[in-house]
Amino acid sequence: MIYYLLYPLHTTISFFNVFRYITFRTIFASITALLICLLLGKWMIQKLQGMQIGQQIRNDGPQSHLVKKGTPTMGGMLIIFAVVIATLLWTNLSDVYVWLVLLVTVGFGLIGFVDDYRKLTGKSAKGVSGKKRLTGEIIIALFVGIILYIKPGFNSHVTIPFFKTVLPDLGWVYILLSTFIVVGAANAVNLTDGLDGLAIGPVIICFATYILFAYFAGNVKTSTYLQIVHVSGAGELAVFCGALVGAGLGFLWFNTYPAEVFMGDVGSLSLGGALGTVAIITKQEILLAIVGGIFVVETFSVIFQVGYFKLTGGKRILRMAPLHHHFELKGWAEPKVIVRFWIISILLALVAISTLKLR
C-alpha cells in the first residue's frame, strides 16, 4: 500500500523514487514486521494467558519439559499478522507470486490454528488427526502448484545444485513435486519446533538466504550472470522474506530460552509452507534441502526411528526422536542444543549461497 501511495510521487519529488527498489522495501518490510511483533508481543502473551491458552506437553517427552506446561502457545498468529501487514504495505501487490505465498502462509496457518485449538480444548498433546491435517495441506499446495504450472512464463524445469546445465523438465509432474516440497517443508518445521527458539532460528536463516535467491531470480541481469533461472516478478518475494525475517526476530525476542510463548502449529506449519513455496517460485527447490538441512535431518530422524522401531520389534536408533530430544537425553543443556543447531543452519546457508557460483 505504501508502495502505491508514495512511489507515484517520484515524478514531482525525486526522493520517492527510492520506493521502486526492492532492496529498500525489503529492509523496511523487515523493520515493520519486527516492530509489530515487539509492540504487540507482550500484549498478545497476556491475552493468551488470560484465555488460558497454554502448551500441552507430550507424556513421552523429556521430563525436563514438564515445567513448560501452561506456557502460552499459538504465538505464530503474531508472526502471520506481522508478515501479512508488512507484506501488504511494502510489496507490489500486482505480483501474483506475492498472493500465492500469502495464501499458503494464511492457509497453513488456519490448519495449524484448528490443530492447536483442538489440542487446547481437548487438554492433550493430540489435535486434528494426521490424515485430516495432511489432506488440508495437500489441497492448498496442489492449488498453488497448478496455478504455477499454468502461469505463462513459469516453467516446470527443476534446478539441480552445482549443475548449471542440468535442468530436467518434469512437465505436469512438477505439480506433484511442488506439492511434496510445500507439505514436506511445513511438517519438517513443525517437527523441529520442540525447544525454545529452536525452529524460529533456522527459519530466520532460511528466509534471509532466500531473500538473495528471490532478488537474484527476479533480476534478469543478475540471473543471467549467475546462470540461474530468471523468474519475472520473483524479486517481490524478497520483500516477503524480509518481512518474515523481521517477524521471526521479533517473535524470538519472546520465544528465546526460557520461552514466554510458543509459536504452536499455527506458526510452524505456516512458516514451513511459506518457505517451501518461496523455494519453488525462485526455482531453488532442491537447494531447500541444503538451506533447511536442519529441518531435513530432524524429519529423517523421526522416520528412521519409527521405521527401525517397527522392524526390530522395539529397538531404537536414537534415545528419542526428533533429534534434538536425543541430544537433550545425552545431557546437553537445552540452550546448547538450540545454539548449536543455529550454527549448523548458518553453515548450511553459506554452503547453499556458494552454489550460485559453484556451477
Q: With contact defined as beta carbons under 8 Å apart, do 19 and 2 qualify?
A: yes
pLDDT of residue 80: 97
Residue 71 pLDDT class (50, 70, 90 cuts):
confident
What mean pLDDT comes out for the span 234-250? 97
- Mean pLDDT score of the chain: 88
- pTM equals 0.92
Closest alpha carbon to 279 in 106, 271, 1: 271
356 or 201, higher pLDDT: 201
- Render pLDDT for 3-23 as a digit per residue (tens, 0 to 9): 666 656 555 666 667 778 899
**Residues 122-179 pLDDT 10s:** 755 666 777 899 999 999 999 999 999 999 888 888 888 877 777 888 899 999 999 9
pLDDT at 4 (0 to 100): 63
A 10 A CB-CB count for 142 gives 16
Contact 338, 257 (CB under 8 A): yes
User: Considering only 15-24, 112-121, 215-224, which range has the smallest mean pLDDT?
Assistant: 15-24
Report the phi/psi class of residue 161: left, alpha or beta, with left for phi > 0 and alpha for psi in -120 to 50.
beta
Mean pLDDT of 278-303: 94
3-class DSSP string for 17-61: HHHHCHHHHHHHHHHHHHHHHHHHHHHHHHHHHHCCCECCCCCCC
What pLDDT does 5 receive? 65
Cell matching residue 107: 492457509
pLDDT of residue 131: 87
The per-residue pLDDT for 129 is: 78
